[in-house]
Chains A and B, each alone.
Chain A
Amino acid sequence: MSLRDDFQPKWKLLLKWGWLSFAVFILMAPTFYTVYISFNELGFGAKYYNFTFQWYENVFSDKQLIGALGWTMLLAIITLPIVIPFGLLSAKLYKQSTHKVWIVFILLSPLFVPADILASALLVFFKNLNKFFTLIGEYTGIYSLDTWFDLGIMTAVIGLIVYTLPYVFVVIMITMARYRNEQTEAARDLGASAWRAFWEIEFPQIRAGVFSACAFVVILTFNEYTRTSLLKGGFDTFTSVLISQMLNTGMSEESYAMASIVSLVAVVIVSAILIITAIKTEELEKKTRTIKEPNK
């Protein structure tokens, strides 16, 4: 704790925490309200409140929704093992490079393009690739490539990679920044191959960042509407089903239950990441502090 904190009057500290809680409450109030409604048998705007789990039961017996949940999980699971190594490589490149600004700019650029534009751009791109491969098929008689870029899981995954890579990169880059490269050199010097040095020395120290990045990818995949619905085709991923249901039938009580589940899962994951990262950071800082000031 810094000197300033030590000499701060109690009420100031309370005020700070009060303000923080208030801000969080305001931000999250609509979510809390959704949760509140989702347990009312009579639904939104009703005069009375009859507590029930009925809407949740409905949700879990809704085949379409559960199917969508499955699809989305699958997308997340396929995206993860591709985007995480990409992120690791990018972060490594960033650390070694002398042109850091450019790397950040290039890797974060997908974030600056609005979702629907990026998605439609990819859509057009895939359509053209399709034409191209069909053409190749006609000339060469090799038709196996024809369907590669039909809308489906592969195209959706590509869209998700483009979308999640910036987040993965940033999260991993931040944890990696604390890592001292001398350790890798020491490991190499002791006889480790580049790969073993990474896996046994560096990775254990950036694990927290990699896991946070994974959680980010899962959450982003679940939250994503535009890119997946355009690029996967079929409008059968989780958020697209949810939104189309809402658009067709208005907000039903099931929708509230659904929304509550998603929010809850997201909040739990994010809090877990924050807490774990905070603890890890504290530990790491302690270590680097003692290593930096070794004159005892």
Chain B
Amino acid sequence: MKKNNAIELKNLIKTYGDVYALNDVDLNISDGEYFVLLGPSGGGKTTLLRSIGGFIRPDSGSIVIKGKNVNNLPPDKRPTSMVFQGFALFPHMDVVQNIGYGLKLQSIEKNIIDEKVNKMMDLVGLTGLHNRKPHELSGGQQQRVQLARALILENDVLLLDEPLSALDAQLRKDMCIELKRLQKTVGISFVHVTHNQEEAMSVADRIAIIADGKMIEEGTPQEIYNKPKKQFTAEFLGEKNILIGKVHNLNKSKIILDINNDKIEIANNNYNVSKNQGVSVSIKSESIQIKKNVKPKTNEKNSIFGKVTEITFLGQFVRYLVLLSNDQEIQVRSSEEVANVKLNDQVILNWKLDDFILHNE
């Protein structure tokens, strides 16, 4: 079943001086989807989110929400609600007044407001905190109030700009689980901005990587994490083993790469590349086997030689740093120490054909 789009963005451009905060962004977000905008700080995530919410007017491009073009509408006329990073609760109002404010603006009867506020408070886990002022709440509770205040209006889209960044690590994990649960309960689209990949992976149905005002790629958390299409994504997600070279030869099932004259072989998963094209590849450090190189055999295609420059014990695993003959460094993670591999040993690294991922750029 194909879902309708809650949000359609076309050719969005926003500049500040000669900085492109948004550089021709296209993006569709489906109904009822938990969508995460992930990327480094300064990449344009906030600008994109605030454009959707109506706090920023893009220089050009169109924003369609629920089939309606909202380009010229202010925030109070858009079917979106926003959860801010912090500081956005009204300090002179208590929890009930904060949550009920949006309904009060619609001149709804007080007892109906109270009833809805109570329901909302139970839903987000604020039961019993009715008459607290924002400064009497913890950071996590303050963000729950913001959630309740936004969700009570039952708009089509909830926008969240780094909603958990002021919380400590443990609380952030708990809140991620709750956000996801909440989104499934209310069933509307969430658009969540973060620079934290764990946070993104744990809540998202779909993730878009955004940097330098451009969409880099989008996909499910699994796709983004396991098979990043772009080198940037791999790097941003903390991938250390990125090798740069060019296509030496290829057929339907295999690609042979030339990495500084070392030939390595990878599986061809319908990659759109041609002979002699410059590419980069990456491999997860836990996907590599390391063993002592007794007799050099140069004809093995899916292997490469190197020298161990560092061995670090990291609790659950051991990390080997291996220097290749072309001066690139490879990290290998092994769940236990590999017998007789010592510092400065010559080693041979093996992998399964499938484990190398090719990036177009």
**B80 and chain A: residue at smallest CB distance:** A189
Cβ-defined contact, B84 with A185, below 8 A: yes
Residues from 130 to 149 in B contacting A, C-beta threshold 8 Å = 133-140, 142, 146, 149
Q: How far is the CB of B67 from chain A (nearest CB, A)?
A: 21
Contact of A296 among B53, B133, B138, B149 (CB under 8 A): B138
Chain B residue total in the interface (Cβ 8 A): 39
**A295 and chain B: residue at smallest CB distance:** B168
Residues from 239 to 293 in B contacting A, C-beta threshold 8 Å = none
Query: Hey, which chain A residues are within 8 Å of B27, CB to CB?
Result: none
Complex: A106 Cα to B351 Cα, angstroms: 70
Cβ-defined contact, A189 with B139, below 8 A: no
Identify 15 new A-B residue pairs, CB closer than 8 A, beyond the known A189-B55, A205-B92, A290-B135: A180-B87, A185-B82, A186-B149, A187-B90, A189-B53, A189-B54, A190-B76, A191-B102, A192-B76, A204-B92, A286-B135, A291-B87, A294-B142, A295-B166, A295-B167
Complex: A296 Cα to B171 Cα, angstroms: 10
Cβ-defined contact, A287 with B135, below 8 A: yes
Query: Hey, which chain B residues are within 8 Å of A188, CB to CB?
Result: 55, 74-76
Contact of A294 among B75, B102, B138 (CB under 8 A): B138
Contact of A182 among B84, B133, B150 (CB under 8 A): B84
Cβ-defined contact, A180 with B88, below 8 A: yes
A255-296: CB near B (< 8 Å → 1, else 0) gives 000000000000000000000000000001011001110111
A183 located at the interface, meaning its Cβ lies under 8 Å from any Cβ of chain B in the complex? yes
- Contact A191 to B105, CB < 8 A, known contacts A182-B84, A286-B135: yes
Cβ-defined contact, A287 with B149, below 8 A: no
- Contact A193 to B139, CB < 8 A, known contacts A182-B88, A183-B88, A294-B86: no
6 nearest interchain CB pairs?
A294-B139, A190-B102, A182-B88, A287-B135, A180-B87, A290-B135
Cβ-defined contact, A190 with B87, below 8 A: no
Query: Hey, which chain B residues are within 8 Å of A286, CB to CB?
Result: 135
Which B residues fall within an 8 A CB radius of A? 53-55, 74-76, 80-82, 84-92, 101-102, 105-106, 133-140, 142, 146, 149-150, 153, 166-168, 171
Query: Hey, which chain A residues are within 8 Å of B137, CB to CB?
Result: 294
Cβ-defined contact, A201 with B90, below 8 A: yes
Complex: A19 Cα to B82 Cα, angstroms: 53
The winner among A186, A193, A196 for most chain B CB atoms within 10 A is: A186
Cβ-defined contact, B88 with A191, below 8 A: no
Complex: A214 Cα to B102 Cα, angstroms: 32
Complex: A185 Cα to B86 Cα, angstroms: 12
Residues from 145 to 203 in A contacting B, C-beta threshold 8 Å = 180, 182-183, 185-193, 196, 201
Cβ-defined contact, B88 with A185, below 8 A: yes
Q: How far is the CB of B112 from chain A (nearest CB, A)?
A: 16
Contact of A190 among B101, B142, B167, B168 (CB under 8 A): B101
Q: How far is the CB of B53 from chain A (nearest CB, A)?
A: 6
**A287 and chain B: residue at smallest CB distance:** B135
Cβ-defined contact, A294 with B166, below 8 A: yes
A198-219: CB near B (< 8 Å → 1, else 0) gives 0001001100000000000000
Contact of B142 among A183, A185, A193, A291 (CB under 8 A): A291
13 contacts between A and B (CB under 8 A): A182-B85, A182-B88, A190-B81, A190-B105, A191-B102, A191-B105, A191-B106, A191-B153, A286-B135, A291-B87, A291-B134, A294-B139, A294-B166
Cβ-defined contact, A183 with B153, below 8 A: no
**A201 and chain B: residue at smallest CB distance:** B90
Q: How far is the CB of B221 from chain A (nearest CB, A)?
A: 27
Query: Hey, which chain B residues are within 8 Å of A192, CB to CB?
Result: 76, 101, 105
Q: How far is the CB of A293 from chain B (nearest CB, A)?
A: 8
Q: How far is the CB of A256 from chain B (nearest CB, A)?
A: 45
Query: Hey, which chain B residues are within 8 Å of A187, CB to CB?
Result: 90, 101
Cβ-defined contact, B75 with A189, below 8 A: yes
Cβ-defined contact, A205 with B102, below 8 A: no
Cβ-defined contact, B166 with A183, below 8 A: no
Residues from 78 to 123 in A contacting B, C-beta threshold 8 Å = none
Complex: A291 Cα to B91 Cα, angstroms: 9
**B167 and chain A: residue at smallest CB distance:** A295
Query: Hey, which chain B residues are within 8 Å of A185, CB to CB?
Result: 55, 75, 82, 84, 88
Complex: A150 Cα to B342 Cα, angstroms: 100
Cβ-defined contact, B138 with A189, below 8 A: no
Q: How far is the CB of A201 from chain B (nearest CB, A)?
A: 6
Query: Hey, which chain A residues are within 8 Å of B101, CB to CB?
Result: 187, 190, 192
**B85 and chain A: residue at smallest CB distance:** A182
- Contact A189 to B166, CB < 8 A, known contacts A201-B90, A291-B142, A294-B142: no
